[in-house]
């Protein structure tokens, strides 16, 4: 089978994307997704997405992690899929799509800046030195003083595979406050490695970095792959609404690949 694919990246979180609005890639297997995402034997990506038709919405988003399994929401993926949908001719100013965690809306500023609305967050677990919350995907957030030099792979993996999280998995974010905003590095479940950026992780980190006041926040976020901004309204001690993940999403290349 020959596939026509597009490779996108959003702050270095990279994805293989295919236009599946006619259902031609419905039979893609988890093993094929894994092989396409492989960085040595395939195209190479942190995940793969299908642009689907979705009654009542402009499109549907199907997301797989690089390990080949379908997973929970991918924030950077949603931003890249929005830019791809625009390229495929969906030119409405506001695009509405359905993902695994529910409805999203997105707008674009210029050719490559995507503003993606995330689900409201209505609970955050706060333990000694950590937060745990779900922003479409589960995120463990730990504030540190040495984010640049931290061994994110080793420390993230220890948390992801500890007794509490081993079965379901979690993404693990290490966060340091900066002069303006925060720096975030993430170990991603399903990639089982540090990625250059994780959109739902950046969102989780920004919510937990907010001050105690219930008001609107705009938090600049730096990742290994570039800069994002998270805007939201804090409505209570652990509740947030109108959450927007904003940042660049661009096409890297497109091509054909033949797989068995």
Ligand X SMILES: N[C@@H](CCC[C@H](N)C(=O)O)C(=O)O
Binding residues for substrate, as ranges, are 13, 65, 75-76, 171, 188-189, 199-200
Q: Which residue has the tokens 């900066």?
A: 178
Task: Tell me, rounded to whole angstroms, the distance of Cα 25 from its chain centroid.
Answer: 22
User: Could you tell me the maximum CA-CA distance found in the chain, to the nearest angstrom?
Assistant: 55
Compare residues 18 and 221 and give the one whose CB is closer to ligand X.
Answer: 221
List the interface residues with ligand X, window 121-140 (CB under 6 A): 137
Among 32, 52, 65, 119, binds ligand X (CB under 6 A): 65
CA dist., res. 173 & res. 187, Å (int) = 6
Shortest gap between Cβ of 253 and ligand X (angstroms)?
20
**The tokens of 146 are what?**
């040495």
Among 86, 160, 189, 234, binds ligand X (CB under 6 A): 189
Candidates 37, 80, 198, 246; catalytic one: 198
Whether 37 sits among the annotated catalytic residues: the reply is: no
CA dist., res. 245 & res. 64, Å (int) = 20
Regarding 171 and contact with ligand X (CB under 6 A), the answer is yes
Regarding 76 and contact with ligand X (CB under 6 A), the answer is yes
CA dist., res. 219 & res. 47, Å (int) = 26
List the interface residues with ligand X, window 192-231 (CB under 6 A): 198-200
Regarding 234 and contact with ligand X (CB under 6 A), the answer is no
Sign of CA dihedral 167, 98, 90, 10: negative
Compare residues 108 and 205 and give the one whose CB is closer to ligand X.
Answer: 205
Phi and psi for 26 in degrees, rounded to 5? -60, -30
Candidates 37, 74, 80, 246; catalytic one: 74
Regarding 173 and contact with ligand X (CB under 6 A), the answer is no
Shortest gap between Cβ of 143 and ligand X (angstroms)?
19
| Pairing mode, strands 226-236 and 239-248 | antiparallel
**The tokens of 115 are what?**
């503003």
Residue ranges binding ligand X (CB under 6 A): 13, 46, 65, 71-72, 74-77, 137, 171, 188-191, 198-200
């Amino acid at each position: 089978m020959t596939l026509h694919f597009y490779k996108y990246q959003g702050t270095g979180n990279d994805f293989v994307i295919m236009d599946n609005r006619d259902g031609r890639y419905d039979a893609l297997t988890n093993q094929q997704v894994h092989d396409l995402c492989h960085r040595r034997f395939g195209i190479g990506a942190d995940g793969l997405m299908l642009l689907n038709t979705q009654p009542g919405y402009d499109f549907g988003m199907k997301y797989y992690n690089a390990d080949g399994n379908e997973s929970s929401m991918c924030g950077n993926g949603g931003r890249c899929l929005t830019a791809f949908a625009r390229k495929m001719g969906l030119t409405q100013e506001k695009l509405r799509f359905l993902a695994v965690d529910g409805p999203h809306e997105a707008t674009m500023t210029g050719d490559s800046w995507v503003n993606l609305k995330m689900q409201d967050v209505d609970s955050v677990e706060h333990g000694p030195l950590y937060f745990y919350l779900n922003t479409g995907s589960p995120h463990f957030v730990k504030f540190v003083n040495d984010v640049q030099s931290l061994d994110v792979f080793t420390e993230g993996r220890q948390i992801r595979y500890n007794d509490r999280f081993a079965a379901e998995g979690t993404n693990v974010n290490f966060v340091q406050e900066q002069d303006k905003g925060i720096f975030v590095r993430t170990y991603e479940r399903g990639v089982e490695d540090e990625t250059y950026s994780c959109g739902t992780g950046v969102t989780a980190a920004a919510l937990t970095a907010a001050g105690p006041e219930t008001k609107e926040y705009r938090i600049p976020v730096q990742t290994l792959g570039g800069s994002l901004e998270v805007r939201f309204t804090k409505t209570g001690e652990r509740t947030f609404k109108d959450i927007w993940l904003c940042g660049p999403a661009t096409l890297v290349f497109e091509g054909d690949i033949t797989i068995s």
